[in-house]
Amino acid sequence: MNPAMKNSIEFKVYGREAMFTDPVSRIGGEKCSYHIPTYEALKGIAKSIYWKPTFIWVIDKVRIMKPIRTKTKCLKPLKYNRLKDEPPNSLAIYNYLYDVEYQVAAHFKWNEHRPELAQDQNEGKHYNVALRALNLGGRQDIFLGSRECQGYVEPCHFGEGNGEYDKISELAFGLTFHGFDYPDETGNEMFRSRFWNPKMVKGVISFIRPEDCTPEHCKPLHKMSVKPFGVDINQTAVINEEEVWQ
């Protein structure tokens, strides 16, 4: 962790199983995990550690520490579109990642589309609360892409230790889901999904910024309203957050 940067954290996240799928097509049917975590999944983990609508987490890079291995499970998911006389469940095979561990570098930036929260933009205090939350394993439960895949986080120094793919010069993964564009983060009322072409260089995947995803790799989904927030109305001011942790 770079002590000179008061808005960045580095953490290790690990778990028995992970399911990083394209959420556009994950409702119903059989699911198969990507071989690598998505930007959106890692952003969700950072938000589970500590988040306020005052800022946006940006995932800089992820390091793959353990071998990419998969396992299958036979499950009975609910049928969302079934006939009246059909059974409520169907048989399906889900393909999970198994025994995963990643190192993640991330930082937060102010959400400029939330001017009503400008008074809560105190970088040092948000940074201190984020570090305390990380040291305690996060404020909310950690999930590796899916609700049934429990994960765990702890602080680390990005690049420390030996990774399984440190000596692999380059490995490409094709077109992959990157993340979502939420109206309260973009100022656009359209909710969109983004895709990109990631590549791993010596075990590290450096993510492009959401705004750098090309238009042809972005898919409009539907319009979405923005939930209003206000300091001391439905959000605690960070100065009061810090008092709780002391």
Could you state, in order of their start, the residue ranges of all structural domains in the chain?
A: 8-245
- The predicted-structure confidence for 102-129, as pLDDT tens digits, reads as follows 999 999 999 999 998 999 999 999 999 9
d(CA 44, CA 189): 21
101 or 73, higher pLDDT: 101
State the average pLDDT over residues 139-164: 96
State the average pLDDT over residues 168-174: 95
State the average pLDDT over residues 157-173: 96
The β-bridge partners of 222 are: 191
- The predicted-structure confidence for 121-150, as pLDDT tens digits, reads as follows 999 999 999 999 999 999 999 999 999 999
Backbone phi, then psi, for 170, in 5-degree steps?
Answer: -160, 140
Please provide the CATH number assigned to the domain covering 8-245: 3.30.70.2660
Indicate if the pLDDT at residue 211 is higher than 90: yes
Task: Give the pLDDT of residue 37.
Answer: 97
Task: Give the pLDDT of residue 83.
Answer: 77
pLDDT band at 57 (very low <50, low <70, confident <90, very high): very high
Identify the burial level of 215 via C-beta atoms within 10 angstroms of its C-beta, where 0-12 means exposed, 13-18 middle and 19 or more buried: exposed
State the average pLDDT over residues 47-56: 95
Task: Give the pLDDT of residue 24.
Answer: 65
CB 164 within 8 A of CB 203: yes
Identify the burial level of 209 via C-beta atoms within 10 angstroms of its C-beta, where 0-12 means exposed, 13-18 middle and 19 or more buried: exposed
DSSP E strands, 25-114 = 55-64, 70-75, 92-110
Q: How many residues does the chain have?
A: 246
pLDDT band at 5 (very low <50, low <70, confident <90, very high): low
State the average pLDDT over residues 184-189: 91
State the average pLDDT over residues 17-45: 86
Indicate if the pLDDT at residue 79 is higher than 90: no
Instruction: Say which range, 83-87, 206-210, 215-219, has the weakest mean pLDDT.
Output: 83-87
Task: Give the pLDDT of residue 243.
Answer: 52
d(CA 20, CA 18): 6
Indicate if the pLDDT at residue 97 is higher than 70: yes
**Dihedral angle over CA of 159, 198, 178, 151, nearest 10:** -40
Backbone phi, then psi, for 51, in 5-degree steps?
Answer: -155, 145
Indicate if the pLDDT at residue 191 is higher than 80: yes
Task: Give the pLDDT of residue 233.
Answer: 75
State the average pLDDT over residues 227-246: 72
